[in-house]
Amino acid sequence: AVGGVLMGRQSALENFGAFSIVFAAPWAAWFVLLLFSVQSKTHLATHRLLGNMVVKACIAVPLSRVVGSALQHTTTLSDGAGYYTGILGTTLLIGSWQGYEFYLYYQE
């Protein structure tokens, strides 16, 4: 996330800086939630939550690249808009899944 924000000046896409901030914002929220969750939950529950997050990241990264690439090549969106639309859609899907995991975690 930090690398993406720092490389924003080299991007040819308009508003890439804003996109980078939106992309990095969930990581900041995740870090704050993690700090609070470690204080109140057992280590096993927190380890399970973090493990699930890693699995989702391993699924999301290649999936977002494939979907983004497919949209870039099959739609009439300009420049990388199709690519980033695919990444956004995958991010929303995986983020919703993780949000549900957070909900279950805090219900325990």
Radius of gyration of the chain (CA): 16
- Tell me, what's the pLDDT at 50? 78
DSSP 39-96: HHS-HHHHHHHHHHHHHHHHHHHHHHHHHHHHHHHHS---TTHHHHHHHHHHHHHHHH
Cα separation, 43 vs 71, in Å, equals 41
Residue-wise pLDDT for 18-72, tens only, equals 766 777 777 777 777 777 666 666 777 777 887 888 788 888 878 887 888 888 7
Task: Supply 20's token pair.
Answer: 């980078």
pTM: 0.57
